[in-house]
Structure 1
Amino acid sequence: MNTYETRLRAREDVADGTMAFHFEKPSGFSFQPGQAIDLILADPGPTADSHVARHTFSIVSAPFQDEVVIATRMRDSAYKHALKSLPIGAAAGLEGPSGSLTLHRDRGRPAVLVAGGIGITPFISMLRHAAREQLPQQLLLLYSNRRPEDAAFLAELNQLERKNRNFRLIATMTQAAKSNRRWEGETGPIDEDRVRTACSNLSAPVFYLAGPPGMVEGIRQSLNDAGINDEDIRSEEFFGY
């Protein structure tokens, strides 16, 4: 993989405890929607070892955009503290792209995207790209969070659904009663019954899973139990994000 130099353009809150970081897109850098980068900080913090000077992040931005954007839960770690305090204009290293969680090329087969929490990041890139390119492929996203406040990019996803007639969003909250916002959408976890109902009108879909390891493994097992072969299931587990 190639390593590039980039600089921080901007940062923003995209959900409670979740921030997005906008970096310059280096000359010659290209990627496919769903891929990731390693972001390398020159100074990861006084208590950090050299091996934590880098972190892998899915790319939120789409290939047609002129920046590289990542988003992450702001956990209490030396790396995350250093990232949050990085001055605008500061240099960083970008290594990549990496990863194979990319949309299949058979546009006749639908794609079912299942995201838990910050696992939404690779799918944002895919959905932006699909809307821009007007892909004929049917896309279904099942997106689970505790509360609406925790759901990064939810407003944009609603806009993308209105923009792309081939995209359908099902957002669900597992702790909606604890929200300070009114929620009239679905509630409860993404389980086998919810997936089966959502996919009932789709022919031979390919499944993409991204989120906490427990959620990813549980959905994969449910799909296997329903007769879905492993070659039609692609996944990425998000540890400690």
Structure 2
Amino acid sequence: MDFDFSFFLVMATAVTGIIWGGYVLLRRVRPNVAAGKEPVIVEYARSFFPIVLIVLLLRSFLVEPFRIPSGSMMPTLLIGDFILVNKYAYGIRLPVLNTKIIEVGKPKRGDIMVFRFPKDPTVDYIKRVVGLPGDRIGYYNKQLYVNGKPIKQTYIAEYQGVGQGSVMTGARLLSEDLDGVTHDILIREDQPSVQGEFTIPEGHYFVMGDNRDNSNDSRYWGTVPESHLVGKAFFIWMSWDWENGGIAFDRLGTILN
């Protein structure tokens, strides 16, 4: 069973708050009973309650850190990148329940989006939004089409990966323009990929990895419902090169596009 950190934070906040608040109330209502040295458990609750509350609020409503576990978003994101995700970009949601309580904005074409995997909501995925509700998305011969129009792709070079990216050396590195959002993608000409056309229902989004021939995305399992959105990735705050055993300093502070 996967560890649900949001649930842990909610429970820790509730338990420490109840213990500390209950003791404060007891001292006011029955001062004789609560007289003397403060119990150790109350001391711990008083110390940890504000900390876990602040972490809960920041993580639930502002930003949340994520680690990139796969190469599906190469060359934009590498295995070992640690990113920050804007949690309020697509609406403010209650932790654990994931119920939207305040409408803020909606995903745009080209966004790098974190979402709960529709086939297993306990797992978080990260992909790029290529299709919005009502769009027709086509993918033929390594070319992306939106509502019948081919998305502009410009050849850059043969990809020369370093560190975690070396596995994709030799792939075609292309620049793609999604409604003004320019980003790089990787294509393996000799590797087959799923093809077809997909119509996106209302309240759903079509996502793809930038590493087009090595990404488990909407081409295989369908669209992402609005209820599964987590947030928009915007910043690399740390990157660890597992191959060379050190920090990839050149990636720190990268603004994601």
TM-score (norm 1): 0.24
TM-score (norm 2): 0.23
